Chain A
Amino acid sequence: MGNLDDAPCEEQGYAENGNGKAAATPISNGHTPKQWMNHAEEQQPHLEQGEIKFSAPAYTEIRTRSGGLNFKTVNAGSYHPAQQEASNGYANKRVNGSSRQQPKLSQADGILSAEQEHYQKTSFEEVPLHTACLTYLGFYLLMILGYINQLLFVPKVATEKKREGYVTLYDAFESFYSRYVYRRVRDCWNRPICSVPGAELVLKDRVTDDYGWSFRFTGTETRCLNLGSYNYLGFAAATGVCAEESEQRARDNGLAFCSSRSELGNTQQHLDLERLTARYCGVEDAIVFGMGFATNALNLPSLLGPNCLVVSDEKNHASIILGLRLSGATTRVFKHNNMRDLERVLRKGVCYGNPKNGGKPWNKIMIIVEGIFSMEGSIVRLPEIIALKKKYKAYLYLDEAHSVGSMGPNGRGIIDYFRANPKDVDILMGTFTKSFGSAGGYIAGSKVSQSKGFA
């Protein structure tokens, strides 16, 4: 990371990026690391030039529950003739045997058709009806018990002192919820650990003597298998390259800079990281920030203004929603990963303009989606979104917080996974908290000239 030269992407083998241990881990069944590396090199040029795009028919209605690869394709209302041709051309090439030059798409390459491939890539298990019903039932039961409890018992703790005659600080429902509903299940969250969040972690045992009002540490510890941390690549370790380099850097440069980037906090390290991030994402420029949450919440306002329309997926992360709230843009929500609904919203947006502004056209229309939705674990349908975005001349903001470093044969996120061209996505956002095992976030794009962050 230190002696950065302008080596082309291909030479930046991904084993060099992190510690050797993580690189040696087989990523998917059957791939040894060596094959994997060759594989990556051979694909890289294609990815760079954006020649090969994964294309699929317009709407694929996907329901995993309804039995295997049973999906229907709606070609009748297909929105993009070029897309169709590309799709056909692609299929023909494969039939003609020219697929030798084509990079392999996945394990199942050659077995599945393009549509099946796409289906496999974007499908996710939907919550079965009975599970959903039972969950809601359990929740309502908890609420009803809570109401009974509230009627019968006066709360023991959590009352305000020395503020008589003030308007209550919390809404009735808010305080009811935290006292009688959340308290009962409080033990499920905020469990402290006292080790690296690696493959295993050590949990500090705690017990509650008063039904969740307070906790007491027993002093014992439990070793657990870790399925809870976002340490996807295992880079957050106490040993290895990441830890060693971090320690060295801390010793050389100190722990912090006590100043914002625009004043006296801009170092060569930041610039290197920005260049490296831009190269890794395959775009021109990147900016890094100190906190992933703040990257979304504070940069969306700088991209959007009042006469802007944002088309946002209903399952987007809270940081995006906060950013939109701060930006003052008009937000329309579309159903989770539903391309038909997205097109409906976009079409309406372009054709009817801003109703508050007498139907004048919007200054910008921006689609905001996540690569892997942190709330659902589902994967965005990027090829369709890119096609829609191009048709309606909207901008695309892709939050890759969970997908960068974890998806695609080269780990370059959801774009790599779909073989899309990074230049088709206007703003790529991601965090260093998850796969990178550090903290902070970045924004990458063709021309980034937002105001740089604070402290």
Chain B
Amino acid sequence: MLGTIQLFNELGSIFRNTPTFALVLETLLLITVIWLLLHRRSGKRLTKEQEDQLIEQYEPEPLVPDTDADHPLLRTRLVQSRVGKRIVVDGHDCLNLGSHNYQGFLEDSEILEEACKTLRKYGVGSCGPRGFYGTMDVHLDLEDRLAKFMGLEEAIVYSYGFSTVASAIPAYAKRGDIIFVDEAVNFSVQKGLDASRSTIYFFKHNDMQDLERLLKEQQQRDLKNPKKALKTRRFLVVEGIFMNTGELCPLPELVALRQKYKLRLFLDESISFGTLGKTGRGITEHFNVNREEVDLISAGMEGAMATIGGFCVGSHFIAEHQRLSGLGYIFSASLPPMLTQAAISALDRFERDPHIFEELQQKSRLVQQYFKRFSMLRLQGDELSPVKHLYMSQEHEDLQTERKLLTLLADKCIENGVAVVDAAYLQNRERKPVRPSLRIAVNRLLDETDIKAAFDTIEKISTEVL
């Protein structure tokens, strides 16, 4: 009882001692808080009837929007033969300038025999992810061989080319990290960047000045916030040979910048592995760069090795991490053993006949010499690159018309015995619209007469169509 009286006295003294304006303000504040609380509640709560009515009225969008029936991606060509130097597309026997079978290993009967032997030993599928009895000795063998071939400590094999780099990037780069990327990187790298949720800076395609500008800007930001800078990892992601342009990346300059600005360099060698360098070890060999300067090399095995899957190779410290963090590695069934064996056999060939790389590079040069002479088409791509792009020399305002014309051109070429394809892009999902082009893939087995005949055909049709 006494306590209550004291409390009232205390309160009274507080009221007396506080200035009036403060009291008024506090009261107003209190009222506002109460009003906000109550208002939000009453404003948001719906009665059950109202809710039912809303549910009744709710009309969602259709699951898939109506697509144009002649959308380019819905109309696919049908391949009716084994893929090799020649290919039967939609009933036309063609010279193949479209499949990424650079070394012609799809026609190699020795690789096929060994793959079939493995099939007879291990069956078709591995029926489990690598962690749960999906690891077979062929997988370990392939990883060992790849690491030795590249002269690095460890390799890790994925079961799908697309998922390789798309899983490798988010295994290291997390939210808050910074990635510097060439703007022409292919779609799977872009997906990897999306999955990482890092801050991404795109620099102009192969433009080192632009990259350095971005790096300097970052340095300024770091000076402002040194605490954060100590925790921010920086990555640099490029392709060895760019799928979307056919150009080589300037690796020595990139390595210099990497050292100067303390970046970690990730290199996607899907095209350059098995095609560049004296012994096919990729762009690092071509530029004579020590492979330890590159932190991680990833590559698909769907190009020169002519099988399925992909791999990452690097130091033990870096590559091993993906065995616990590479989503595509952990949560996917491992590569079917026969395809793993095909990759091992392809490596055997790489080691046994190193002249195949020289041959392929010669063919690429030859294609370059011929194909840069088109009157209506402009060639882009390095002379050593087995992937080249043909753009229309007359640029149209509208990319759609350009694409349609190029599709028509490709169709006509196929009808006349040369299989070229217009590069397929998901334009609405790419970072920015890509200019349509015909993508040429050089095969080692082509000879000069083939290339000349292809040139003549494409030249003739392109002058007719464009």
| A-B interface pairs (CB < 8 A), number | 319
Q: Which residues of B contact A319 (CB under 8 A)?
A: 327, 331-332
A290-B160, A454-B162 given; A238·B126 CB < 8 A: no
Asked if B223 lies at the interface with its beta carbon under 8 angstroms from chain A, I say no
**Is A263 touching B98 in the complex (CB atoms < 8 A)?**
yes
Q: Are A226 and B60 in contact (CB under 8 A)?
A: no
Asked whether any CB of chain A lies closer than 8 Å to the CB of B234, the reply is yes
Q: What chain B residues lie within 8 Å of A159 (beta carbons)? A: 317
Instruction: Give complex CA distance A302, B59 in Å.
Output: 20
Closest A residue by C-beta to B139 = A192
Given the contacts A293-B331, A362-B60, A392-B55, A298 and B307 also touching, CB distance less than 8 Å:
no
Nearest Cβ distance between residue A262 and chain B, in whole angstroms?
Answer: 4
Given the known inter-chain contacts A162-B292, A229-B133, please indicate yes or no for A196 contacting B122, CB distance below 8 A.
yes
A258 to B421, alpha carbons, bound, how many Å?
13
The 3 closest A-B pairs by CB, nearest first: A293-B332, A291-B160, A262-B424
- A37 in the interface, Cβ–Cβ < 8 Å? no
Q: A259-B100, A260-B424, A351-B51 are in contact. Are A437 and B115 (CB under 8 A)?
A: no
* In the assembled complex, B344 has its CB within 8 A of some CB on chain A: no
A95 contacts the other chain (CB 8 A):
no
Q: List 19 A-B contacts (CB under 8 A).
A: A158-B316, A162-B292, A235-B124, A238-B122, A247-B116, A253-B82, A258-B83, A259-B421, A264-B89, A266-B79, A290-B160, A290-B162, A294-B162, A297-B327, A302-B429, A351-B50, A351-B55, A449-B64, A451-B73
A422 nearest CB across to chain B (Å): 15
Binary flags per residue of A152-163, CB closer than 8 Å to B gives 1, else 0: 000001111111
Interface presence of A148 (CB below 8 A): no
- A194-B137, A452-B76 known, 4 other contacts, Cβ within 8 Å: A228-B133, A264-B77, A298-B162, A326-B194
Bound-state CA distance A11–B136 (Å) is 38
Bound Cα distance from A361 to B466, whole angstroms: 47
- What A residues does B124 contact at CB under 8 A? 235-236, 242-243, 246, 437-439
Are A229 and B120 CB-contacts (below 8 A) given A159-B317, A255-B112, A322-B327? no
Closest A-chain residue to B102, C-beta based? A258
B127 touches A231 (CB 8 A): yes
| Cα separation A239 to B251 with both chains bound (whole Å) | 48
Pick from A235, A303, A393: contact of B58, CB below 8 A. A393
The answer to whether B252 has its CB under 8 Å from any CB of chain A is no
Assess whether B73 is in contact with A262, with CB atoms less than 8 Å apart: yes
> Which among A167, A239, A450 has the greatest number of chain B C-beta atoms within 10 A?
A167
Contacts of A165 in B (CB 8 A): 262
B338 CB contacts on chain A under 8 angstroms: 246, 250, 255
Which of the segments B203-211, B318-326, B374-382 contacts the partner chain?
Answer: B318-326
A293 partner, pick from B87, B115, B163, B295, beta carbons under 8 A: B163
Cα(A430)–Cα(B107), bound, Å: 32
Write out the residue numbers on chain B whose beta carbons fall within 8 Å of the beta carbon of A251: 112, 116
For A263, A291, A294, A450, the residue with the greatest tally of chain B CB atoms inside 10 Å of its CB is A263
Q: Which of A157, A318, A449 contacts B67 (CB 8 A)?
A: A449
In the bound complex, residues from chain B placing their C-beta under 8 Å from that of A267 are 78-80
8 Å CB contacts to B: which residues of A109-154?
A: none
**List of B residues within 8 angstroms of A250 by Cβ:** 112, 115-116, 119, 338
Decide yes or no whether B187 CB sits under 8 A from chain A. yes
CB-CB contacts below 8 Å: B153-172 with A: 159-163, 166, 172
Query: A228-B132, A439-B159 are known contacts. Are A255 and B115 too (CB-CB below 8 A)?
Result: yes
- B323-362: CB near A (< 8 Å → 1, else 0) gives 1100110111101101100100000000000000000000
> Chain B residues with Cβ under 8 A from A279's Cβ?
none
The reply to whether the CB of B38 lies closer than 8 angstroms to some CB of chain A is no
Residue picked from B106, B116, B133, B159, most chain A C-beta under 10 Å: B133
Contacts of A170 in B (CB 8 A): 321
* Closest partner residue, chain B, to A221 (CB atom): B137
Instruction: Select one of A163, A257, A434, A451 contacting B127, CB under 8 A.
Output: A434
Number of chain B residues whose Cβ lies closer than 8 Å to a Cβ of chain A: 111
> Given A256-B306, A363-B61: A169 and B331 within 8 A (CB)?
no
Contact digits for A430-455, partner B, Cβ 8 Å, 1 yes 0 no: 01111011110000010111111111
Question: Are B54 and A439 closer than 8 Å at their CB atoms?
Answer: no
- Checking A191, A268, A318 against B327 with a beta-carbon cut-off of 8 angstroms, the contacting residue is A318
Residues of A within 8 A of B187 (CB): 454
Bound Cα distance from A364 to B115, whole angstroms: 46
The chain B residues found within 8 Å of chain A, CB to CB, are 44, 46, 50-51, 54-55, 58-61, 63-64, 67, 72-74, 76-80, 82-84, 87, 89, 96, 98-101, 106-107, 111-112, 115-116, 119-128, 130-137, 139-140, 159-163, 166, 172, 187-188, 191, 194-195, 197, 230-234, 262, 264, 292, 295, 300, 302-303, 306-308, 315-318, 320-321, 323-324, 327-328, 330-333, 335-336, 338-339, 342, 419, 421, 423-424, 426, 429, 439
- Cβ contact within 8 Å between B128 and A228: yes
B72 contacts across to A, CB distance below 8 A: 262
B292's partner among A161, A258, A433 (CB-CB below 8 A) is A161
| Contact between A158 and B83, CB atoms less than 8 A apart | no
Q: How far is the CB of B4 from chain A (nearest CB, A)?
A: 45
Tell me the bound Cα distance from A246 to B317 in angstroms: 39
- Complex interface: chain B residues within 8 A of A361 (CB): 58
Inter-subunit contact A290/B308 (CB<8 Å)? yes
- With the chains together, A235 CA to B123 CA distance in Å? 9
Docked Cα-Cα span, A436 to B162, in Å, equals: 22
Say yes or no: A325 contacts B115, CB within 8 Å: no
Closest approach, in angstroms, between the C-beta of A81 and any C-beta of chain B? 12
Structural contact, A365 and B331, CB atoms closer than 8 A: no
The reply on A352 being an interface residue by CB < 8 A is yes
Q: Does A254 lie within 8 Å of B106, measured CB to CB?
A: yes
Contact of A191 with B161 in the complex, beta carbons under 8 Å: no
Instruction: Indicate whether A230 reaches chain B with its CB closer than 8 angstroms.
Output: yes
Known: A247-B119, A251-B112. A258 touches B302 (CB 8 A): yes
A455, B264: Cβ atoms closer than 8 Å: no
Q: For the complex, what is the distance from the CA of A178 to the CA of B123, rounded to whole Å?
A: 33
Contact between B127 and A292 (Cβ–Cβ < 8 Å)? no
Is there contact, CB below 8 Å, between A255 and B106? yes
A189 touches B132 (CB 8 A): yes
For residue A261, CB closer than 8 A to chain B, the reply is yes
Residue ID in chain A nearest B51 by CB atoms: A351
Establish whether residues B233 and A325, one from each chain, have CB atoms under 8 Å apart when the complex forms.
Answer: no
Assuming the contacts A160-B317, A452-B73, A454-B162, asked whether A259 and B98 have C-beta atoms less than 8 A apart, the reply is yes
A334 at the interface (CB under 8 A from B): no
Q: Does A340 reach chain B (CB closer than 8 Å)?
A: no
- A401 to chain B minimum Cβ distance, whole angstroms, is 10
Is B98 touching A243 in the complex (CB atoms < 8 A)?
no
The docked-state distance in angstroms from the alpha carbon of A169 to that of B232 is 10
Q: Contacts of B76 on A, CB cut-off 8 Å?
A: 261-262, 266, 452
The answer on a CB contact under 8 Å between B67 and A169 is no
Whether B136 lies near A194 (C-beta < 8 A) is: yes
